[in-house]
Structure 1
Amino acid sequence: MRQLKLIWDFRGPHALKTAQHHEIHLKEYIETEHLDITITGNSAINEMHAIAFLVVNESDMKPLRDALKPHRGEVYV
């Protein structure tokens, strides 16, 4: 089954800290909703751009996209 990476972008001097904090909220949502999602993370793209993300099965993407409103997504490999 194809997996998709839902991504939230954060920019500015505090982008990485914001992305790290956002990942905490993503994990809380996963726990609260009893979802079978095990891959989350955050990453610095550069000193002014960072991302938070979670990886979902393509079949589960639409309701999660609508609920969580990621900025973008891509195929996870």
Structure 2
Amino acid sequence: MKIELTVLDPCGTARLSPHISQGVVDSELRVHGAKNLRIIDASIIPVIPDCRIQNAVYMIAEKVLCRPCGSEDER
């Protein structure tokens, strides 16, 4: 029996795309087809970073939280 382990953090499972047919979230990290829902985690990172993925997730969260809301229904 062979057991495989990974030391990598999973990411890239929620593709970014302006079109619902090609991705899960738009450039503002809003989930296509869902109201008031964003994905703010490692799943939107398209390439595995060569550093701790936690740092990239913190940066994404800070960038999103520092943006003003885009429309009335997002407040």
Q: Is the structural similarity TM-score above 0.5?
A: no
Which protein is richer in helix relative to its size? 1
TM-score normalized with structure 1 length: 0.30
TM-score normalized with structure 2 length: 0.30
Which structure has the higher relative contact order (CA within 8 Å, separation 6+)? 1
Which protein is richer in strand relative to its size? 1
